[in-house]
Amino acid sequence: MLSPEAVSARQALRQQLLSTDLRPSDQHQFEQLALAVFRYQAVHNPIYRNYLAHLAVRPDQIFELRRVPFMPIGFFKKHTILSGFPANAQPLSDTLTFASSGTTGEQTSRHYVPDPDLYNAVSTRIFEQTYGPLSNFHIVALLPSYLERNNSSLVYMVQRFIAQTGSEKSGFFLHNHDELTEQLRQLTQEPDQKKILLIGVTFGLLDWAESGEDLSFLGGNPNLIVMETGGMKGRRQELLREEVHTILTDQLGIQRVHSEYGMTELLSQAYSSGSGVFEPSPTLRILLRDINDPFLIYPDDYKRTGGINVIDLANLDSCAFIETQDLGQYVGSERNFQVIGRFDNSDVRGCNLMVL
């Protein structure tokens, strides 16, 4: 049962998240809201509160994001991460549960989402600020490994996107490459001039692109966006993102491949319009940490590789400050970033393409 204090604080933060016109360039506004979320979760998230206490961190002495401790992402495998609920509380019956993929017997992450409407609103705003209204799209999704289970956050998001397109020609494809090709062929000949988003898990796109079908009709179509979400899921050898993009651009005859950065433990996304360079979204920022000292945060102009810490304001009901196992670099001066690999011995997960 949510406490009255937690309900009041949460509702105020939720209203700010949905009503404030957050922009990636407005770092001050983002930081102020992120610190407010931190203070809320430092009190009302039992797991995160205990983690801060273990580190002897006093939340009332934290006044800048660089001093906020980030919770290791592995906690999502071992604990119920919920803000506004008492310790050891069970999620409410109408709470969504997203789970990461894993091999048989492997413990997977679980992300509990008691407020799906917030996730829907945030993910839609991020996409539409980047690409325009979903009503201007046909969406074709090639997500075989995700469709084979019923608790994928990516499938849930794409389902909502497809519904908002209002297009009967949008939909999911599993392994039916012939049908996928024919659907794209028809869409590229449509006179409605809608954009076409082909979004797919990396191994699925590669299998289709290398299937021997004639896909030359895709080349030069200005309305087509091909977007990979990362991940070989053990189906193929892990490749550098640059290698994946080279194969896809060559086989499909397109100029560039877009990318999505997201994971089960995050409710916000970041998008790349090419070259694997991701732009921060309204509710997501990254900070890079030292590879050997997780509490040392690099300056924004640091040019070397660091561990990726994610601030995700959409994680209002779980934890907004996540220490991932991804490695990245800053690109340029706009807080853009690249994901270039992962720490040794970390799980092979969907958002990464490179094994170090």
| Three-class DSSP labels, 78-141 | HCCCCCCCCCCCCCCCCCEEEECCCCCCCCCCEEEECCHHHHHHHHHHHHHHHHCCHHHEEEEE
Are 95 and 113 in contact, with CB atoms under 8 Å apart?
A: yes
Nearest partner of 85 among 319, 321, 323, 324, judged by Cα? 319
pLDDT digits (tens, 9 = 90+) for 268-289: 999 999 989 999 999 999 999 9
Per residue in 150-173, is it b (16+ CB within 10 Å) or e — as a string?
Answer: ebbbbbbbbebbbebbebeebebb
- The answer on pLDDT for 350 being more than 70 is no
Written as six digits, the tokens of 341 are: 């690999």
- The answer on pLDDT for 346 being more than 80 is no
| Range name among 18-32, 41-55, 165-179 with the lowest pLDDT average | 18-32
Phi, psi of 11 (to 5 degrees): -60, -35
The residues near 159 (Cβ < 8 Å, ≥ 6 apart) are none
pLDDT the model gives residue 355: 36
pLDDT digits (tens, 9 = 90+) for 127-137: 999 999 999 99
**Residue 341, beta-bridge partner list:** 327
As a whole number of angstroms, the distance between CA 154 and CA 264 comes to 8
- The answer on pLDDT for 73 being more than 60 is yes
pLDDT the model gives residue 116: 96
- The answer on pLDDT for 105 being more than 90 is no
- The mean pLDDT of 98-107, rounded to a whole number, is 72
Nearest partner of 187 among 250, 251, 137, 144, judged by Cα? 137
As a whole number of angstroms, the distance between CA 284 and CA 90 comes to 27
Are 301 and 52 in contact, with CB atoms under 8 Å apart?
A: no
- The mean pLDDT of 22-27, rounded to a whole number, is 74
pLDDT over 90, % of the chain: 71
Give the Cβ contact number of residue 207 at 10 Å. Answer: 17
What confidence category does residue 92 fall into, taking pLDDT thresholds of 50, 70 and 90? confident
**Average pLDDT, whole number, for the chain?**
89
Domains, the chain, in order of start with CATH, read: 1-356 (3.40.50.12780)
- The answer on pLDDT for 315 being more than 90 is yes
**Helix residue ranges, H only, the chain:** 4-19, 27-44, 46-54, 75-78, 116-131, 144-147, 153-165, 177-188, 202-209, 241-252
Cα-based torsion angle of the residue sequence 227, 230, 234, 237 in order, rounded to the nearest 10 degrees? 90
- The mean pLDDT of 75-79, rounded to a whole number, is 95
Q: Higher-confidence residue: 275 or 180?
A: 180
What confidence category does residue 42 fall into, taking pLDDT thresholds of 50, 70 and 90? very high
Are 52 and 62 in contact, with CB atoms under 8 Å apart?
A: no
- The mean pLDDT of 226-249, rounded to a whole number, is 81
CA angle 97, 101, 293 (to 5 degrees): 95
